Amino acid sequence: MVEEVWPKVRNFLAGYNSGLCLVLAGHPFDTIKVRLQSEGTLSTRFKGPLHCVRETITNEGVRGLYKGMAAPLFATGAINSVLFGTQYSVVQHIVALDERTVPRTTDHMKGALFTGAFISFLVTPMEGVKARLQVQYGSSGTATAGSMKYKGPIDCAVKVTKEHGIFRGIYRGWLPVVLSRMSNYSYFGGQVFFSGMIAGMVGVNVETGEKLPIGYSLISGGCAGCTYWLSCYPFDVVKNRMMASSEGSMYRGMSSTFRHILTTEGWRGLFVGFAPCMLRAFPANAAAFFGFEMANRYLP
């Protein structure tokens, strides 16, 4: 019984560790990305990523780069544990249905479509709280502190739910979250693809259970993160524009937000903040897969 259950438990624990590593390695880049996305290309607040970094540090200190981190730091570990654990179970089920023992890259991609849609129900509230806190300008030590609407993640979640309800409040932006999370097919599929390619280059037979050296796992994980963002970035822009805006804004739904961005900013509006996102993608996702691999290798 223990022998059957433990591999699933180990994957859940490894997934939790992966989520912690992802947030710790990438949150400052994420804050810059979200601020640029929510402001758009027509805003005069920020002239670009470096200007956004300077303005944030000047006005809010280094702590400003870590705004909204509490929600993902607490939740992403749990969410990733569910994601990685569910992904493992779904892929094993797909392989068993086909009467095989070794999963293919396409099996991981199919499984990710399901697990991405499933995980969106857990991710959306966390993403909404994070985005609202990240675009709350000012710091607790300045004169603007009194005008800050949210004191922290719990206060934010409670106020948003009270003011707007569940679906128009804490689950605002759910549809683009679903579509972006289903793009995990490129994340898990990319990791398997790059791992297999690197394994062939260094003479490691992963199909027999051999493990890539951890340095190569970092490379495959980082590349997988880049392929993920390349596959879904416009949805992320739309999501954060919706989540960071007020209920009565022009960003009422996914399609209207797409149209508004394209009409007022052109296609470049759908890729605002792309530079800090890609700068974050490799190290943050390399850290995520590093955390996952290390936990899987050292847990019994």
Query: Which of 60, 61, 65 lies closest to 49, judged by CA?
Result: 65
Query: Which of 206, 59, 178 lies closest to 121, judged by CA?
Result: 178
Query: Encoding tokens for residue 147?
Result: 């005008």
Query: Encoding tokens for residue 296?
Result: 């899987």
- Delineate the domains of the chain, giving CATH numbers in brackets: 2-298 (1.50.40.10)
> What is the pLDDT, as a whole number, of residue 3?
66
For the segment 79-103, what is each residue's pLDDT rounded down to a tens digit?
A: 888 888 889 889 999 999 988 888 8
Residue 299 CA, distance from chain mean position: 25
> pTM of the entire structure?
0.86
> What is the pLDDT, as a whole number, of residue 208?
73
Residue 129 CA, distance from chain mean position: 14
Owner of token pair 């280094």 = 62
Predicted confidence pLDDT, tens digits, the chain (300 residues): 556 677 777 877 887 888 888 898 899 999 999 999 999 988 889 999 999 999 999 999 999 999 999 888 888 888 888 888 889 889 999 999 988 888 899 999 999 999 999 999 999 999 999 999 999 887 655 545 556 788 889 999 999 999 999 988 999 999 999 999 999 999 999 999 999 899 989 888 877 777 888 888 889 989 999 999 999 999 999 999 999 886 656 788 899 999 999 999 999 999 999 999 999 999 998 888 888 888 877 777
3-class DSSP state of 204: coil
- The alpha-carbon radius of gyration of the chain (Å, integer) is 20
> What is the pLDDT, as a whole number, of residue 245?
81
> What is the pLDDT, as a whole number, of residue 143?
43
> What is the pLDDT, as a whole number, of residue 139?
66
Query: Which of 27, 61, 45 lies closest to 140, judged by CA?
Result: 61
For the segment 146-165, what is each residue's pLDDT rounded down to a tens digit?
A: 567 888 899 999 999 999 99
Residue 122: burial class (beta carbons within 10 Å; 0-12, 13-18, 19+): middle
Q: Is residue 20 within 8 Å of 79, Cβ to Cβ?
A: no
Query: Which of 106, 131, 140, 240 lies closest to 180, judged by CA?
Result: 240
> What is the pLDDT, as a whole number, of residue 146?
53
Distance between CA atoms of residues 148 and 285, nearest Å: 32
The DSSP symbol for 63 reads: G
Query: Which of 7, 1, 71, 5 lies closest to 34, judged by CA?
Result: 71
CA 20, 282, 293, 232 torsion: positive or negative?
A: positive
Q: What are phi and psi of 140, to 5 degrees?
A: -65, -15
Residue 168 CA, distance from chain mean position: 21
How many residues in total does the chain contain?
A: 300
